[in-house]
Amino acid sequence: MNILQIVKKGDLHAQHGEVMDIANPSEEHAMLRSMVRDWVNEFVEPQAFEHDKHERFNLDLLRSMGDMGLLGISAPEEHGGAGLDATACAIVHEELSASDPGFALAYLAHAMLFVNNLAYNGNEDQKARILPKVCSGEWIGAMAMSEPDAGTDVLGLTTSAVQQDDGTWKLNGRKMWITNGCLDETGTPADVVWVYARTGTDDKGRVQLSTFLVEAGMPGYSVGQKIYDKTGMRASNTAELVFDDCIVPAENLVGGLGESLIHMMCNLEVERLTLAAMSLGIGRRCLDEMNRYATDRTAFRNKIRDFGQIQKHIGDSWAKYRAMRAYIYDTAANMKLGKAGHRLDSDGVKLFSSTAAKEIADSAIQVMGGYGYVGEYHVERLWRDSKLLEIGGGTIESHQKNIVKDLFKNPESVNQ
């Protein structure tokens, strides 16, 4: 049975006064977590080590998530999605990342950066045509914003789109660091990509960014290169995408001209929440591994968990893990998908969680010593994976800037 058919038997909104666990605010959220965790243990965990080691993306495994309804977790049911909330999105990302953050990142790029973006920003024709394909896994999606010379500085993007006499758009430029940009070792491009491009300037002389849906097979769309030898997240494919006089139909413009920043603001918030949830999964797994190891390992005729130095690593990691968990699921509970206005906490939760996950993974390696330093014991891989979360989806420096800016605008937020 489809996992979400079971979950949807209940209401994924806990009633007032019934919340006992902020990370599982309803029985249905707890069911979702249990089912995803069981699936991860059966199908994700056995392949995680080898796919990281050989820098292979498990495309078939990602497609199979469509059978469970997870690829369109936040998309409307009428277009093949599950129509679930931000808490459900966080749960799935946490559970995937406790086993294989690289695979979870590929899932995030598809389910959040493409599917959720289209579900909340596309028009009805675009959603009716494309959402069923990406929700089922027939198509794998990606989002292309970063470029070789522009990342956080979105107004510095140089990829351009010029409308032709027949109404089509001609795209030119290169996008860099695109998760799911290529699907295999032969350079097969993503089936569909959410692309941000310059379409001119507005009446005030500001850069005008617009959004396009580029599909495999459109002339001029190709993979420039698959990027190898990444520090972490090696189980997801990262690529450079090339748009060389790429012709895009007029109906593939999303929204109106110059509306990309609106799309970004709405979607960046859930992206940062789910990236934080990935950090939580990493932190939880590392804490579990070091805690069990500290019981099994003895030194000087004592379990190493009896030594104060080890207790500091485990104790501090527990506090960070619980703080991450509370902040992430509090933010999720207050986030309405498709609506901007949660930047202060979506930035704050990713800022805190990404660094906390790296610190917990580092402590796990220290507790486990030589065993923690080799891939067989997982924490070394999780430590490498955690670093990307301080960079991707917004650098920690950009989060610090945004938080200070928002607190200047709304100083009363501190005392709410």
Q: Quickly tell me which residue has 């995680």 as its tokens.
A: 48
What's the CATH code of the domain at 285? 1.20.140.10
Is pLDDT above 80 for 108?
Answer: yes
Domain co-membership, 198 together with 102: no
Q: Is 288 exposed, middle or buried (0-12, 13-18, 19+ CB in 10 A)?
A: middle
Is pLDDT above 90 for 169?
Answer: yes
Is pLDDT above 60 for 18?
Answer: no
Averaged over 1-25, what is the pLDDT? 64
Domain co-membership, 253 together with 322: no
Domain co-membership, 193 together with 145: yes
Radius of gyration of the chain (CA): 21
Cα dihedral across residues 188, 194, 195, 199: positive or negative:
positive
* pLDDT above 90: percentage of residues in the chain: 88
Total domain count for the chain? 3
Q: CB neighbours of 403 closer than 8 A, spacing ≥ 6? A: 344, 347, 348, 351
Domain co-membership, 304 together with 339: yes
Other beta carbons within 10 Å of 402: 19
Domain co-membership, 157 together with 236: yes
The whole-chain average pLDDT of the chain stands at 94
Judge whether 59 and 184 are in contact, CB under 8 Å: yes
Q: CB neighbours of 223 closer than 8 A, spacing ≥ 6? A: 181, 182, 187, 188, 189, 239, 240, 241, 242
Domain co-membership, 186 together with 269: no
What's the CATH code of the domain at 13? 1.10.540.10
CA distances from 53 to 234, 317, 381, 413 (A): 8, 27, 9, 45
Domain co-membership, 303 together with 280: yes
Averaged over 44-60, what is the pLDDT? 97
Domain co-membership, 124 together with 217: no
Which pTM was predicted? Answer: 0.94
Averaged over 216-234, what is the pLDDT? 97
Rounded Cα–Cα distance for residues 373 and 392 (Å): 24
Is pLDDT above 70 for 9?
Answer: no
Residues classed as catalytic? 271
Domain boundary among 258, 273, 301: 258
Q: Is 137 exposed, middle or buried (0-12, 13-18, 19+ CB in 10 A)?
A: buried
Which pLDDT tens digit goes with each residue over 333-392?
999 999 889 999 999 999 999 999 999 999 999 999 999 999 999 999 999 999 999 999
The parent domain of residue 378 ranges over 262-415
pLDDT at residue 14, as a whole number: 46
- Give exposure, 145-177, as e/b (b: 16+ Cβ within 10 Å): bbbeebbeebeebebebebeeeebbbbbbbbbb
Is pLDDT above 90 for 4?
Answer: no
Cα dihedral across residues 72, 74, 78, 79: positive or negative:
negative
- 224-230 long-range Cβ contacts below 8 angstroms, 24+ apart: 224/174, 226/181, 226/182, 226/185, 226/187, 227/177, 228/55, 229/55, 230/55, 230/388
What's the CATH code of the domain at 234? 2.40.110.10
Domain co-membership, 339 together with 197: no
Domain boundary among 93, 118, 136: 136
Domain boundary among 233, 258, 283: 258
Domain co-membership, 213 together with 354: no
Domain co-membership, 159 together with 116: no
CA distances from 81 to 115, 121, 136 (A): 9, 15, 8
Q: Quickly tell me which residue has 């599982």 as its tokens.
A: 24
pLDDT class of 302 with cuts at 50, 70, 90: very high
pLDDT at residue 150, as a whole number: 83
Domain co-membership, 198 together with 324: no
